[in-house]
A = this chain, B = another copy of it.
Amino acid sequence: MPEVLVLLVEDDDLVVAVLEAAFEEGGYKVALATDRAAAISELENDPHRFHAIVTDIRMPGKLTGWDVAHRARQLVPTIPIVYMSGDSAKDWAANGVPSSIMLSKPFAVDQAVTAVSQLLNQVPPNAV
């Protein structure tokens, strides 16, 4: 079967390892970006390459996960967005995009995989 690619934007090696294993168990492929600027470059180069974005909010550098999602939705308005955060979760109501899911840490890996599957299953086939 052709691949369904999730862009994972996260710099904690342990979280990356656990999420990669769980998404692959669920039949997804994972492309990793440990740096937000790099993530945005990849999105701009080939916006339709990714089927969903799973992003941490805070990482080293100026850009935040809010910025990654904002840029992704400018490029592909229907792309599913899942945010992960601890102390930034409370800012989701002001900074998140519509139809996104905020996973407040701690969360179980199945929450992340189910979040992506739910959001993909909701995208109407006629949306662009």
Q: Which residues of A contact B (CB under 8 A)?
A: 1-4, 14-15, 18, 22, 25-28, 70-71, 73-74, 77-78, 89-111, 113-115, 117-118, 120-121, 124-128
Is there contact, CB below 8 Å, between A115 and B121?
yes
Q: Which 3 interchain pairs have the tightest Cβ spacing?
A: A26-B110, A27-B109, A27-B108
Q: Which residues of B contact A111 (CB under 8 A)?
A: 4, 27, 117, 120-121
Instruction: Let me know if A93 and B28 touch, CB within 8 A.
Output: no
Copy total for this chain: 6
Identity of the chain B residue whose Cβ is nearest the Cβ of A120 in the assembled complex: B111
* Residue among A27, A103, A127 with the highest chain B CB neighbour number at 10 A: A27
Bound complex: CA of A91 vs CA of B101, how far in Å? Answer: 19
Q: Which residues of B have CB within 8 Å of A99?
A: 93, 98
Judge whether A93 and B124 touch: CB under 8 Å: yes
A10 to chain B, nearest CB (A): 12
Contact indicator A94/B77 (Cβ below 8 Å)? yes
Cβ of B125 and Cβ of A128 under 8 Å apart?
A: no
- Report if A94-B73 is in contact (Cβ < 8 Å); known contacts: A78-B126, A121-B101: yes
Contacts of A27 in B (CB 8 A): 18, 22, 108-111
